[in-house]
Chain A
Amino acid sequence: MTQTSSALAAFETDYRRHKTRARVTFWTVALSIMTLVLITAEFANFFSITQVTLADGSRAERWILLAGLPRLGEYVAKTIPELGWATIGQDLTHWFWRWPIWMELLLETILIAFMATVLGVAGGFLLSFPAARNLSPRPWMVWVSRRYLEIARTVPELVWALIFVFCFGVGPMAGVLAIALHCTGSLGKLYSEANENIDMRPVEGIRAAGGSWFDQMRYGVVPQVLPNTLSYTLLRFEINVRSSSIIGFVGAGGLGQELRTAVSLQEYTDLSALFLIIFAAVFVIDWASEKLRHRVIGLERI
């Protein structure tokens, strides 16, 4: 009896200690996050005061968030075009008034994404073999190819686009190269991780049969990683369509340049029309590539 009660008492003290420690950890983490939030919020102008014009024309000081919200609503409201049931055809042509140019640019956007994906897949796939620790012929190749891939994907496409627009001139070529470079970095990393997770036995078999390094990669690794690679590639194509739709902002081709003009000329209804076009295109491509991806994965299972 006394044994059980002493054991119970030990448990109770242990439990209490554990609880106290958990509470202390919780409050330390919570307080440090709160402090960080306050510091970063101050840094990000969250607490600044701005001037607004009231209805009677006088100026007043307001907290920036409250002052901005009505403006946000106003802005969004302005982008909604006037559509009437009776004049729907006329209104729609008025809304999408530049549709021949927009359709051309949409095609260009998708082709930029296509080409960038092809180039990115080529680069990423080639580099994924030296970047995989288990496959690389030399250790220094791992280091070099990994650093290259890291830099390629850390620097955003828009920054590469700014650089390439200077080098190759304004136009879709700069956009293709910028997205392709970024895509090489992301895909190379994913592919090399897939390469590191393979079963090494086929590779060893080919090496034992006297196959060269290329033979080992072609017949030992590629058949294992191909379904994964295809799936990543399709996913990346979707991401690239999104990127290529905004890359025109810095003059690298695609719909982004129209978006930029619409913003700077304050063509509000054009903005909503362009959003709708991009949204529809991205939606259709996502849907189609998801279907294709499921087919690829399904084939792999059979």
Chain B
Amino acid sequence: MSNVSTSSLPASIELARLKAEMPLAFRAPFRVRLRRALGWTGFALVFGWCLYDFDFSPSRIVEGLGRLGTVLSFMFPPHIWTEWDQLSEVLKGLGETLAMAFLGTLLGAVVAVPLSLLGAKNINRLPFLRFGVRRGFDVIRAFETLILALIFIRAFGLGPLAGVLAIAVGEIGVLGKLYAEAIENTSKKPVDGVTAAGGSWLQSIHFGVMPQAIPVILSITLYNFESNVRSGTILGIVGAGGIGFLLSDRIRAYRWDEAWSIIILIVVMVYVIDALSAIIRMRLIGTEPGRRSSP
């Protein structure tokens, strides 16, 4: 924006006049500027203290980046398993992760549907019960899946069963909340129609609310399945089944070439699952709704 026309002198005089006339259009008032400056200084102080406290020294960063370069170099060429034993182990891990995500999401959804009806304002008219159910969802969501997995490992032993139950219980909190919101966001008009035609309360839910909510519910469930495929890969790190066990084992044994191949396979698997579920969603709903964030 350098070529400001030939008449620069009148323009600058005009600008000076305007600045004198309306200073606030060009500059924020002093108090706002002071508040901003204080905010940024505080931020910089906290950030600087973190850098110091967490020991982000340049030498450490350079050394770490060097090591990271070495680790990354193992990606090329990618390791390819030639023995069936090892390959089948990896494939079994991937399949286990998928199975855990599928079963966990499904079990969670089966429990979450009736609970979400209790948590929806337009269906459950008892405020105490509704708030109780909603706070219950909040409490469940406060537990990380990994922590739930640790608890279930103690009860059911190492293996995918603990992972499935951890995902399922965690999903009750997430899906219950999202389902309840989906049910609350339905239009009241079909319900009025069913009631006006003499339908009972149950019929008004069945024919008025559910047809509107079910596509949203299915779409939410598919999204959460995708996100559980992603998060299911870490459950193995604590021993709850899935590919995470193999991956953490390879990383801890410094077999980086195999570790990278496993990571690439995970990325490919997530890709395929996302694409497939996008196709299913398109067929179910017809249009792609706004994407929710993935954790």
CB atoms of A186 and B293 under 8 A apart: yes
CB atoms of B163 and A159 under 8 A apart: no
CB atoms of A166 and B71 under 8 A apart: yes
Whether A190 is near chain B, meaning CB under 8 Å from some CB there, is: yes
Whether A234 is near chain B, meaning CB under 8 Å from some CB there, is: no
Whether B173 is near chain A, meaning CB under 8 Å from some CB there, is: no
Whether A154 is near chain B, meaning CB under 8 Å from some CB there, is: yes
By size class, the interface of chain A is 35 or more
Residues in A111-130 with C-beta less than 8 Å from chain B = 111-112, 114-115, 118
Whether A279 is near chain B, meaning CB under 8 Å from some CB there, is: yes
Interface centre among A44, A151, A176 (most CB of B within 10 A): A44
For B95, what are the chain A residues with a Cβ–Cβ distance below 8 Å? Answer: 43
For B64, what are the chain A residues with a Cβ–Cβ distance below 8 Å? Answer: 164, 167-169, 173
Given contacts A75-B155, A166-B251, A239-B295, contact A43 B96 (CB under 8 A): yes
CB atoms of A114 and B147 under 8 A apart: no
Given contacts A68-B156, A71-B154, A176-B54, contact A168 B46 (CB under 8 A): no
Whether B252 is near chain A, meaning CB under 8 Å from some CB there, is: yes
CB atoms of B96 and A162 under 8 A apart: no
CB atoms of A45 and B55 under 8 A apart: no
Whether B86 is near chain A, meaning CB under 8 Å from some CB there, is: no
Contacts between chains A and B (CB distance < 8 A), count: 168
Complex formed: what's the CA distance from A46 to B95 in Å? 15
Q: Closest A-chain residue to B139, C-beta based?
A: A279
Interface stretch (choices A4-12, A80-88, A133-141, A209-217): A209-217
Output the least CB separation between B283 and chain A (Å).
11
For B186, what are the chain A residues with a Cβ–Cβ distance below 8 Å? Answer: none
Complex formed: what's the CA distance from A36 to B146 in Å? 25
For A48, what are the chain B residues with a Cβ–Cβ distance below 8 Å? Answer: 161
In-complex Cβ contact of B54 among A50, A115, A186, A193 (8 A): A115
For B113, what are the chain A residues with a Cβ–Cβ distance below 8 Å? Answer: none
Output the least CB separation between B160 and chain A (Å).
4
Whether A49 is near chain B, meaning CB under 8 Å from some CB there, is: no
In-complex Cβ contact of B230 among A46, A114, A154 (8 A): A154
CB atoms of B142 and A279 under 8 A apart: yes
Q: Closest A-chain residue to B47, C-beta based?
A: A118
Whether A163 is near chain B, meaning CB under 8 Å from some CB there, is: yes
CB atoms of B161 and A64 under 8 A apart: yes
Whether A282 is near chain B, meaning CB under 8 Å from some CB there, is: yes
For A239, what are the chain B residues with a Cβ–Cβ distance below 8 Å? Answer: 295
Given contacts A166-B67, A210-B1, contact A43 B152 (CB under 8 A): no
CB atoms of A37 and B103 under 8 A apart: yes
Output the least CB separation between A100 and chain B (Å).
17
Q: Closest A-chain residue to B61, C-beta based?
A: A168
Whether B99 is near chain A, meaning CB under 8 Å from some CB there, is: yes
CB atoms of A162 and B251 under 8 A apart: yes
CB atoms of A156 and B103 under 8 A apart: no
Complex formed: what's the CA distance from A112 to B51 in Å? 10
Given contacts A114-B50, A159-B263, A259-B147, contact A40 B1 (CB under 8 A): no
* Chain B residues proximal to chain A, CB less than 8 Å: 1-3, 46-47, 50, 53-56, 60-61, 64-65, 67-68, 71, 95-96, 98-100, 102-103, 106, 139, 142-144, 146-147, 150-152, 154-157, 159-161, 163-164, 230-231, 233-234, 237-238, 241, 244, 247-248, 251-252, 254, 259, 263, 266-267, 270-271, 291, 293-295
Beyond known contacts A40-B102, A167-B71, A186-B293: 5 more, CB 8 A cutoff: A33-B106, A162-B248, A173-B56, A173-B60, A259-B147
| For the complex of A and B, 10 pairs with smallest distance between CB atoms | A72-B155, A168-B64, A40-B99, A68-B156, A44-B160, A167-B67, A43-B99, A68-B155, A71-B155, A156-B234
Chain A to chain B contacts (Cβ below 8 Å), 27 pairs: A36-B102, A40-B103, A43-B160, A44-B96, A44-B100, A44-B160, A44-B164, A45-B159, A45-B160, A108-B53, A115-B47, A154-B230, A155-B267, A156-B230, A156-B231, A159-B248, A159-B251, A159-B263, A162-B251, A163-B68, A166-B67, A167-B64, A172-B53, A189-B293, A211-B1, A245-B144, A246-B144
